[in-house]
Amino acid sequence: MNPTVRLAHFSDIHVTAPSCSWRLRDWFNKRMSAWLNLRVLGRGKHFRHTDRILLALREELAERNFHRVLFSGDATAMGFEEEVRRAAELLGVDTKEQLPGLAVPGNHDYCTAAARRSGHFERHFAPWQDGARVADEIYPFAQRVGPVWLVGVNSATANRWAWDARGQVGATQLERLEKLLASLEPGPRILVTHYPIWLADGTPEHAFHGLRDLDALVSVARRGGVVLWLHGHRHGSYHHAHSEHVPFPVICAGSATQSGCWSYSDYTLNGGHLRGVQRIFDERSGHFRDGRTFELDLPI
């Protein structure tokens, strides 16, 4: 088994679609504030190069000898099916040329309770949700790549209020995660989810932007031998080495498409060593170039 594993990790692409199926109830739920944010308050212009960047990303994924693509959520701006479909198409999720992938949703993909229940994300990203699972439930699921296990955990929920961007894994998924981690054959476990443990400066997430059951998820991850936590949600890229608080490193990919943040992460794993390269989109050339590099030791 080849000990070197190459992974591409990107997040928070926030794809929009030219026309979306608005329902009457959408004018009274979180979708309305998401739309105002996007169209009136100027969030949309920060994502104006999304199509171009995703095209460049696909070229990168084809050229840089990756074994797997990891997407940690927020495919859409407002959780409409048209947006999810478009995001999956732009990424080539269901094409023969595309690499195998792992995808989990973000809070924007479950913008409303109806969006969460619809299963649009799971349907359009199904090729990137293959894996071992417990009791045929979609989440969590695990994929083997060489000696490594990649474990996708759904931490997104629908929220009622405009200011609420919290997530939750939930007690039943946590139980399944505990079982899944215990049942996998030996090998380092890498957790992929939308929500962070910390912000870039090491402080906890803000009250209405974090994971409600973060402590429980960290406990299950710790007991289950997780050696690395990969996430998005925050649009700037950063990482933390392991510490006495969390015994594994944590990496935020940031947004692949937001102006100024636009980057993805390139990882080379060799045994317990990870080399990370932030690949930054260059607006002028339309290609990605190297940004910061970092080295992390995983607790293997």
- Tell me if 81 contacts Fe ion by CB under 5 A: no
Write the binding mask 208 to 237 for Fe ion: x where contact by CB under 5 A, - elsewhere: -------------------------x----
Shortest spacing between CB 232 and Fe ion, in angstroms: 6
Instruction: Tell me which of 76, 107, 193, 237 binds Fe ion, using CB under 5 A.
Output: 107
Shortest spacing between CB 145 and Fe ion, in angstroms: 25
HEC letters along the chain? CCCEEEEEEECCCCECCCCCCCCHHHHHCHHHHHHHHHHHCCHHHHHCCHHHHHHHHHHHHHHCCCCEEEECCCCECCCCHHHHHHHHHHHCCCCCCCCCEEECCCHHHHCCHHHHHHCHHHHHCHHHCCCEECCCCCCCEEEEECCEEEEECCCCCCCCCCCCCCECCCHHHHHHHHHHHHHCCCCCEEEECCCCCCCCCCCCCCCCCCECCHHHHHHHHHHCCEEEEEECCCCCCEEECCCCCCCCCEEECCCCCCCCCCEEEEEEEECCEEEEEEEEEECCCCEEEEEEEEEEECCC
Choice between 107 and 129, CB closer to Fe ion: 107
Q: Name the segment binding Fe ion (CB under 5 A); options: 69-77, 92-100, 178-186, 283-291.
A: 69-77
Write the binding mask 11 to 50 for Fe ion: x where contact by CB under 5 A, - elsewhere: -x--------------------------------------
- Tell me if 196 contacts Fe ion by CB under 5 A: no
Shortest spacing between CB 67 and Fe ion, in angstroms: 26
Instruction: Tell me which of 74, 81, 109, 266 binds Fe ion, using CB under 5 A.
Output: 74
Shortest spacing between CB 58 and Fe ion, in angstroms: 20
Q: Which stretches of the chain bind Fe ion, using CB under 5 A?
A: 12, 74, 106-107, 233
